[in-house]
A and B are shown apart, each in its own frame.
Chain A
């Protein structure tokens, strides 16, 4: 794949060109050492060295609330609603790239989710190699260290003001050249990018899974009755925060309302969370996962086994957001999976 060299001073010009055609979103410092993606404008300061954003990027593809249909009560007709802004996400870390690539597959499978796919088709993704690893992240050990698909460009900083940029798609290459031709990367620059990546992986070795990630589905299939589910979930507040911040959680509820006219109305979907007691509750009061331990277990099985059984990748990309979001300090996949692997080895 082609790779080019871009200097930081060229970026403001490029961003301005891109912003003419796309809503450009970049990582910014939101204070107190927290980061989030935010719309770019000329005076935005990009947080090149952000470790992880508080919120996952799924909101650009699966918004917290998204209209699906409008309906007319007079003749019971209904029409699909599709909103798919042209957007460019600049600075997406590999674990989030993996999470998006997973959601792409799951939304495409079976009955394709056009609302999601339309948004995805209108979204350009510029991935970026992180410059530091968040305290709670463990993505290198989850197979999430590098994604070779799903990006239009992949940016790696190889010098104080020098970026090594790999091309992932024609769209990406065209956008890169929007301000004129750029020099191709030399062999030493390819090497520098590779070294930079290895350095980042090594710096995160301290917090890692103690088995190869490929083992997790097997370990989980032996762990249905582990005491860990009950032990850890007794503290669960059933707040659903771990679901909301997770880049690979995409469950939703469907709701509707009638307009003031009482003739028309709309139906939308909004994020839902399997950790909420109402998630599997049906009419008459029967709940298919009434206990916290069952909901807690379901979440880890979904990440560590069910998604794997579908697409051959773990449903946890190791971003660590849930660890930070959980005020009860129990939503820690690394701790759960490591404890399970120890139990399984015993």
Chain B
């Protein structure tokens, strides 16, 4: 009888909370250090499973850029249920369990030398931030960086200071909008598709990286492809599903015949165009 093999991808490893930053009423940024001292070694767009023992485990996008030589990484979490509330209750020094990184990523190398439009609906900025910060870190390798952000209301904006800093740079174009305004908001009002016609694009040379609520994708892809003439094979989206194992086994994240946890969460649009359950 062969001896049992005892490696398990189900066992999380410890990470310690080093910093918490309130981003909005419900969203908080968490910076963790991996206790094993190693870098997370993720690629932009990937996610990890975060455990608060006794409460459960949930998937979150890694929001920081990959940092060689540093064991720190960031996630930003909306308080909505059991695990997310438990995370919000943590204080610096507390620990969580993490598994991963899991899943596919934005093809960074393909974007080199090209322009990128980031389309972030609501919390979609959280996963896109990893790619964005990577590109900013290696700024001269990339063409134009155009960041489009849409929120339901001004109160739901996150990373406000960071986005103001971005808007102040002359090598990044930032466009923001809110669906419904109030008096405090002097910017654009309207859904995120209203931002697209505002920029002149070199469509042959432009990639789209988009994350947002399910409803947003069809509209944005529609106007990117038909109005802007961006080729569908240069559009990348990240899709969320219920996830448990993160390993392509438990079946929860299935989109037709594929698994969002291993085949995604980042997909080239042309690869999922025909999947009825994708968008």
Please determine whether A69 and B242 come into contact, CB atoms closer than 8 angstroms: no
Please determine whether A283 and B80 come into contact, CB atoms closer than 8 angstroms: yes
Please determine whether A280 and B252 come into contact, CB atoms closer than 8 angstroms: yes
Please determine whether B80 and A251 come into contact, CB atoms closer than 8 angstroms: no
Please determine whether B242 and A117 come into contact, CB atoms closer than 8 angstroms: no
**Which residues from chain B contact A73 at a C-beta distance below 8 Å?**
53-54
Q: Please, which residue of chain B has its CB at the minimum distance from the CB of A72?
A: B53
Please determine whether B241 and A78 come into contact, CB atoms closer than 8 angstroms: no
- Of B11, B240, B250, the contact of A69 (CB 8 Å cutoff): B11
B68 to chain A, nearest CB (A): 25
**Which residues from chain B contact A84 at a C-beta distance below 8 Å?**
4
Query: Which residues of A (248-272) have their CB < 8 Å from a CB of B?
Result: 250-258, 265, 267, 269, 272
Interface string of B68-91 (1 = CB under 8 A from A): 000000000000110010000000
Q: Give the number of chain A interface residues (Cβ < 8 Å).
A: 56
Cα separation A265 to B51 with both chains bound (whole Å): 13
Determine whether B245 belongs to the interface, using a CB cutoff of 8 Å to chain A: yes
Please determine whether B6 and A114 come into contact, CB atoms closer than 8 angstroms: yes
A32 to chain B, nearest CB (A): 33
Cα separation A80 to B10 with both chains bound (whole Å): 7
Determine whether A48 belongs to the interface, using a CB cutoff of 8 Å to chain B: no
Interface size class of B (residues with CB under 8 A): 35 or more
Q: If the complex has contacts A76-B96, A121-B2, A258-B54, are A111 and B9 also in contact, measured as CB distance less than 8 A?
A: yes
Query: Which residues of B (239-279) have their CB < 8 Å from a CB of A?
Result: 240-242, 244-245, 247-252, 254, 256-257, 262, 276-277
Q: If the complex has contacts A279-B252, A309-B257, are A288 and B54 also in contact, measured as CB distance less than 8 A?
A: no
- DSSP class of A's interface residues: helix, strand, loop or mixed? mixed
Determine whether A224 belongs to the interface, using a CB cutoff of 8 Å to chain B: yes
Please determine whether A306 and B256 come into contact, CB atoms closer than 8 angstroms: yes
- Of B54, B80, B95, B242, the contact of A279 (CB 8 Å cutoff): B242
Q: If the complex has contacts A269-B250, A288-B242, are A256 and B8 also in contact, measured as CB distance less than 8 A?
A: no
Please determine whether A272 and B251 come into contact, CB atoms closer than 8 angstroms: yes
Cα separation A93 to B58 with both chains bound (whole Å): 40
Cα separation A110 to B251 with both chains bound (whole Å): 14
Q: If the complex has contacts A110-B247, A250-B251, are A281 and B242 also in contact, measured as CB distance less than 8 A?
A: yes
Task: Supply 4 further A-B pairs (C-beta < 8 A) apart from A76-B53, A115-B10, A250-B251.
Answer: A82-B4, A111-B262, A253-B250, A288-B241
Chain B interface residues (CB < 8 Å from chain A):
1-2, 4-15, 35, 51, 53-54, 56-58, 80-81, 84, 95-97, 214, 240-242, 244-245, 247-252, 254, 256-257, 262, 276-277
Chain A interface residues (CB < 8 Å from chain B):
68-69, 71, 73, 75-80, 82, 84, 86, 106-107, 109-111, 113-115, 117-118, 121-122, 224, 250-258, 265, 267, 269, 272, 274, 279-284, 286, 288-289, 298, 301-302, 305-306, 309-310
Of all A-B residue pairs in the complex, the 3 with the closest CB atoms, nearest first, are A80-B8, A251-B251, A306-B257
